[in-house]
Amino acid sequence: MFARFSMLAVVAVLASGCANTSPVLGSKNINYGDTKAVETVTNEFGSTDLQMIAESMTRSLAQSGVLRGRPVVQVYDVKNKTSEYIDTREITTSIKTQLMKTGTARFASDNTDMQSQVDQLKLQNQSGLYKKSTVSKTGNMIAAQYRLEGSISSIVKRSADYKDVFYKFSLQLIDVESGVAEWMDEKEIRKTTER
Amino acid sequence: MRHFILGALALVLLAGCATPPPPAPGSAASKIVVMGKFKGIAVGAIRVARENGFLTAKVQLSNITSSNQTMYYRFAWLGADGFPVGDEETWKVLNLYANQATFLPAIANLPQASDFRLEVKTP
């Protein structure tokens, strides 16, 4: 009786020891990392550069005091003047998202969203598919008071044992009516690789 | 006599292990969070102001060594309840030349931020 009970206890202990209590499934070589970590895998434009630019520009603009009364802003794509491929739309999207969160500005449909906006208005007003009282009327879109434009450029220098990349990101807010630049800021980043 | 020496030794060892008292609330030291190691750089005066509705901070940092130093940092912005507001900031790198003193400027992510912590780390 004692031997049978002991065997049962041993089996129970072993079984509980083998039970997988981890919420992870799959290979141990794959890990989720910190999305906010400083990334220095190569010295090309990376996630840290994008995050630093968006953070610095957003805060500088939001705190400048130019955006009084939550004006409507039209964001243009950042011009990529570097020799690298950079998805500059992601920079503008990050800036837009962060500015939106601060509550200091509203955004008009930008050049890429405009076609979808026009298509939707046409569909609602011309197709005859929708209940009249629910249709969004044409001629009520709000025009932007400011436009936000930026560019990123780089200077790359190489020697036998050195590679230096200097990025300069510039952003300016222009009053559409007057054409006057109301705010402007720059962010400079230097990345160096020693071979 | 032997007991007395052993007792004194234990007292000395215990005193050595004692943790320093926590920084006073609101003091400059209370705003600094050292993540693991932070050597060769001293944190000095901290200036906090509210400009155009956003909290701004300037933190004095001094390289107290005679060699160049690199540090990682980020600000954590807190609301009136002491909890973080908005998303976490990205970690940034700051290079300080030998014996250089500099001011680290920062602007809060949201107007709701009323306090901050500076997270610092050296490699």
Residue A151 lies in a domain: yes
Residue-level pLDDT at A97 = 95
Residue A156 lies in a domain: yes
Residue A29 lies in a domain: no
CA angle B84, A105, A134 (to 5 degrees): 110
Residue-level pLDDT at B18 = 60
- Residue B8 in this model has a pLDDT that exceeds 60: no
Residue-level pLDDT at A27 = 82
CA distance A78 to chain B (A): 21
Residue-level pLDDT at A193 = 94
pLDDT tens for chain A, residues 1 to 195 = 666 766 666 666 665 556 678 888 888 888 899 999 999 999 899 999 999 999 999 999 999 999 999 999 999 999 999 999 999 999 999 999 999 999 999 999 887 788 999 999 999 999 999 999 999 999 999 999 999 999 999 999 999 999 999 999 999 999 999 999 999 999 999 999 998
- Chain B residues within 8 A of A62 when measuring between CB atoms: 54, 107
Mutate to test the interface with A, among B72, B90, B91, B112 (most CBs of A within 10 A): B90
Residue-level pLDDT at B27 = 72
Quote the ipTM score.
0.82
We report the CATH number of the domain holding residue A67 as 3.40.50.10610
- Residue B21 in this model has a pLDDT that exceeds 90: no
Q: Are B46 and B70 in contact (CB under 8 A)?
A: no
Residue A172 lies in a domain: yes
How many CA atoms are closer than 13 Å to the CA of A111, on its beta-carbon side?
9
Q: What's the structural domain count of chain A?
A: 1
Residue A72 token pair: 């409507």
Burial class for B114, CB neighbours closer than 10 Å (0-12, 13-18, 19+): middle
Residue-level pLDDT at A12 = 63
Residue A185 lies in a domain: yes
CA torsion sign, A44 to A46 to A51 to A52?
Answer: negative
CA distance B53 to chain A (A): 7
Identify the closest residue of chain B to A102 by CA–CA distance: B110
Residue A135 lies in a domain: no
- Residue B22 in this model has a pLDDT that exceeds 80: no
Distance between alpha carbon B73 and the CA centroid of its chain, in Å?
9
- Residue B28 in this model has a pLDDT that exceeds 80: no
Residue-level pLDDT at B43 = 94
Average pLDDT of chain B? 88
Residue-level pLDDT at B67 = 97
Residue A118 lies in a domain: no
Residue A128 lies in a domain: no
In this structure, are strands B54-63 and B101-107 parallel, antiparallel, or unpaired?
A: antiparallel
Residue-level pLDDT at A23 = 86
Residue A52 token pair: 């630093």
Residue A67 sits in which domain range?
A: 45-111+141-192
Is the CB of residue B105 less than 8 Å away from at least one CB of chain A? Answer: no
- b/e code B40-68 from CB counts within 10 Å (16+ = b): bbebeebebeeeeebbbbebebbbeeeee
